[in-house]
Amino acid sequence: MYSENDKREDMKNPVNRTTRAGGTRGRWTRAWAVAAASMLISAQTVSAQDWNWSGAAGDGLWGTGGNWQQGTPPPPEAQGVFLGGGTTQTIAAGTVENPGTANDGVNTFGSIFGPEFGGTLNIYGTLNYHWVVAAVALDPNPAARSHLNLFDDGRITGVNMGLGVTWWFLAPFASMNLYGNSTAVLENLWMGGHLNIYDNARVDVTNLVINADLDLYPVSDGTRLFNIAGGTLAIPAGMGEAITNWIGRGIFRAYGQRYATNAFTITSTDTNTIVTVPALGGAIERIYLGPVPELIAGEFHQMDLLADFPGFSGAVVNGVSPGVSPANLPGTPAFQSSNPNVVTVNDNGLLQALNPGTATITATLGDLTSTNAVTVTVRPRKAQLVHRYSFNEEGGTTASDSVGGSAWDGAVFGSATLTGGQLVLDGTFGFVQVPEGVVSNMDAITIEAWASFPNPVNPMSALYGFGALSADNMAGANYISMIPHTTENGSQVTFGMGDPTVAAPTPFVLQAAMSASPLDGLMNVHIVAVYHSLSGTISYYTNGVLAATFTENPFVPASFKQARGISLLNHVLGANPMNVIGSSLSSELFLNGSIDEFRIYEGPMSAAVVRANHALGPNQLIGTNQDVTLSVELSGDNVIIRWPIDSALVNLTSTTDLTGTWTPVNGPLSIVNDEYQVTEPAAEAARFFRLEE
């Protein structure tokens, strides 16, 4: 396990980074192993040169000796100061703390590991340190962020500020907030989280701002924010072009407002690029909701509540980091949806689209109410079939795409053969490669296949792998895949972000819907993988039944889509330089088995369509008829509902009240005499059925 000693050694000798956190599947688990180790900071046994927060005195004050395991506050010779996850420390006004400032730059580094994992450090006095403050958090929920706050005349000075990112660990959900006349003087700003400069505060960065131009998941434009909300930001000279780039990307904001090109005053000197914004000039004049796009059921959207002041219009007054100081607000924003069955809204203005319909979102702030409430239209989005490989060719080296056309035909390689309407794979060296771009520019993707597997399946071989090759060409990078038999004796649908063969600081994060059941020995099994990045979910179905899901915190897909205009999935997959069926992107993991049919859809497939496709089987597409009639009959203690299989409508719903909510009927779907059929237990109360898209 990656220990605190490892971390300190890595800080002194970055070459050591390449060997940390190994394991049975090191390239898959490296990022998580480091994360787990970092979360154990407060439980580590530290040396005499380290100071660990205990909070035993109960007053939360940094200067109280009883709050530290050593019985004294961290002295200038302290090598490391550890602020345990979820705790709060305060440096009081008039107090000067100097941990780690008496160092030789080789054996001691004067680092502050924190605030971490939801912790808070409040500075009213002065904090001087040497090497780095590492403010990190993994959970994107606003209440779980780590906060480094400077108030009044508070001051912090040091070499590096690791705001949500350090070279050994990336956990970007951290905020640094400066209020009043506070000041931060830093040599380097490592930018992964939120920097908010309020009131008359000032931040001076004398050497370098890094990680603002890189997309190192989980650090991205969806997690970074420079919010100039009064005060001054002074960064190294010659960075005006970089600021223009950040403004255009929506991560450099004036009072929380995106793309506010004309709101900044940028002054260049021989040593600095100085950024300021106009003063607000008085109290709020009005509030109003920002525009909301038409939403697809299941998606999230972070909505802005805007405010006009005498000196600035369109300041953002809600969200994870409000665009203005709380001192400028007459209370806390509140939101309400007129129809929570259609769309919900939380305390931060995060919308979740649920069902087709409209809803009015109303915002209030103090005595102010939005005068132009937004109507949100939610439309269901059907998965559109864009590529279909049926493998009906007998022999040859081309697998035709009957939907996308010949430009998307696949090439059969190695020992793979087209036999009896199937792609047959012997697990030695065989696969089908499909052209670049087969899943490009898609915010949501569904992969569907029917396949048969021997017992055993080659462990960690893949049904498909779409993405890039790793730096050493031995693994995938930035990819999606489906693994029938994992090393944990299960199966999973995956979304891998980053390159697992490259050591930190480039991270690798694996999101996976994992089932405990491998697919060994299953014949003609129906497999569906739904990557719905705008809702932050991955869904994995086998034979029409949901086998596993992965759900990301909604703030991640919402904030990334708002910052970049595309989903994280779309961004990560990019141009798809390599896409293979019957193999992983590793040159040594080939699938043994056969594939009857392989389909690619743009958009998320609904559970109802998954069940219908499973009933239809691999050689028949769902119908197109939208003018169909249900038939219902009572058979003993059951009700049997039937409708023709040429129907495009397969989502059977029911209600006991025609004015109430219609809910899906999720019972088994079968085909009998060319009709879909669902059998439901009879009930004494009246029950109504209908078909929906």
C-alpha distances in angstroms, 24 versus 28, 30, 481, 486? 9, 10, 20, 12
| Digit-coded pLDDT (tens) for 593-634 | 999 999 999 999 999 999 999 999 999 999 999 999 999 999
Phi-psi region of 673 (alpha: psi -120 to 50; beta: other; left: phi over 0): left
Task: Kindly tell me if the per-residue pLDDT of 27 is higher than 60.
Answer: no
Compute the distance between CA of residue 332 and CA of residue 327 in angstroms, rounded to an integer: 11
Task: Kindly tell me if the per-residue pLDDT of 49 is higher than 90.
Answer: no
**140 secondary structure, DSSP code:** -
Kindly indicate the confidence band of residue 34, based on its pLDDT and cuts at 50, 70 and 90. very low
Contact 200, 150 (CB under 8 A): no
Long-range contacts formed by 398-404: CB under 8 A, 24+ apart: 399/423, 399/432, 399/434, 399/581, 401/434, 404/438
Compute the distance between CA of residue 565 and CA of residue 568 in angstroms, rounded to an integer: 10
Task: Kindly tell me if the per-residue pLDDT of 38 is higher than 60.
Answer: no
Q: Which residues of 366-391 are buried (b: 16+ CB within 10 A; e: fewer)?
A: eebebeebbebebebbbbebbbbbbb
| Digit-coded pLDDT (tens) for 294-314 | 888 889 999 999 999 999 999
Kindly indicate the confidence band of residue 556, based on its pLDDT and cuts at 50, 70 and 90. confident
| Digit-coded pLDDT (tens) for 232-242 | 999 999 999 99
Tokens of 423: 């792609």
**Share above pLDDT 90 across residues of the chain, in percent, rounded to a whole number:** 72
| Domain at 295-308+329-379: CATH code | 2.60.40.1080
Mean pLDDT across the stretch 445-450?
98
Instruction: Say what the pLDDT of residue 505 is.
Output: 63
Q: What is the 3-state secondary structure (H, E, C) of 384-444?
A: EEEEEECCCCCCCCEECECCCCHHHCEEEEECCEEECCEEEEECCCEEEEECCCCCCCCCE
| Digit-coded pLDDT (tens) for 243-276 | 999 999 999 999 999 999 999 999 998 899 999 9
Instruction: Say what the pLDDT of residue 18 is.
Output: 25
Phi/psi at 267 (nearest 5 deg)? Answer: -115, 130
Task: Kindly tell me if the per-residue pLDDT of 40 is higher than 60.
Answer: no
Mean pLDDT across the stretch 219-240?
94
The answer for residues whose C-beta is within 8 angstroms of residue 27's C-beta and 6 or more apart is 475, 500, 501, 508
C-alpha distances in angstroms, 39 versus 4, 11, 125, 146, 162? 11, 18, 28, 13, 16
Instruction: Say what the pLDDT of residue 504 is.
Output: 63
Cα 98–Cα 100–Cα 104 angle in degrees, nearest 5: 130
Q: Residues in the chain, how many?
A: 693
Task: Kindly tell me if the per-residue pLDDT of 15 is higher than 90.
Answer: no
Mean pLDDT across the stretch 346-368?
92
Mean pLDDT across the stretch 136-163?
95
Kindly indicate the confidence band of residue 355, based on its pLDDT and cuts at 50, 70 and 90. confident
Question: Mean pLDDT in the chain?
Answer: 89
Cα 169–Cα 208–Cα 255 angle in degrees, nearest 5: 85
Instruction: Say what the pLDDT of residue 6 is.
Output: 44
Whether this prediction's pTM lies above 0.75 is answered by: yes
Instruction: Say what the pLDDT of residue 537 is.
Output: 95
Compute the distance between CA of residue 450 and CA of residue 584 in angstroms, rounded to an integer: 17
Place of tokens 């998606």: 299
Mean pLDDT across the stretch 403-424?
97
Task: Kindly tell me if the per-residue pLDDT of 42 is higher than 60.
Answer: no
The answer for residues whose C-beta is within 8 angstroms of residue 626's C-beta and 6 or more apart is 647, 648, 649
Tokens of 123: 């500075």
Kindly indicate the confidence band of residue 667, based on its pLDDT and cuts at 50, 70 and 90. confident
Instruction: Say what the pLDDT of residue 685 is.
Output: 83
Task: Kindly tell me if the per-residue pLDDT of 406 is higher than 90.
Answer: yes
Kindly indicate the confidence band of residue 538, based on its pLDDT and cuts at 50, 70 and 90. very high
Kindly indicate the confidence band of residue 105, based on its pLDDT and cuts at 50, 70 and 90. low
Task: Kindly tell me if the per-residue pLDDT of 46 is higher than 60.
Answer: no
Instruction: Say what the pLDDT of residue 21 is.
Output: 23
- Based on its alpha-carbon atoms, the radius of gyration of the chain, rounded to whole angstroms, reads 28
| Same fold for the pair 295-308+329-379 and 384-616 | no
Task: Kindly tell me if the per-residue pLDDT of 530 is higher than 90.
Answer: yes
Kindly indicate the confidence band of residue 662, based on its pLDDT and cuts at 50, 70 and 90. confident
Tokens of 286: 């009005």
Mean pLDDT across the stretch 224-230?
96
Nearest by Cα to 109 from 129, 93, 126, 89: 129
Instruction: Say what the pLDDT of residue 12 is.
Output: 34
Which amino acid would we find at residue 607?
A: A
Instruction: Say what the pLDDT of residue 169 is.
Output: 84
Task: Kindly tell me if the per-residue pLDDT of 7 is higher than 70.
Answer: no
Domain boundaries of the chain, sorted by first residue: 1-38, 50-278, 295-308+329-379, 384-616, 631-692
DSSP, collapsed to helix, strand or coil, labels residue 225 as: strand
Task: Check the CA dihedral 358-363-369-371 and report its sign.
Answer: negative
Compute the distance between CA of residue 614 and CA of residue 410 in angstroms, rounded to an integer: 24
Tokens of 231: 């005060």
Q: Which CATH class is domain 384-616?
A: mainly beta
pLDDT, greater one: 557 or 482? 482
Instruction: Say what the pLDDT of residue 107 is.
Output: 64
| Digit-coded pLDDT (tens) for 56-87 | 999 999 999 999 999 999 999 898 999 988 89
Kindly indicate the confidence band of residue 106, based on its pLDDT and cuts at 50, 70 and 90. low
C-alpha distances in angstroms, 388 versus 209, 395, 403, 495, 615? 47, 18, 6, 22, 18
Contact 563, 555 (CB under 8 A): no
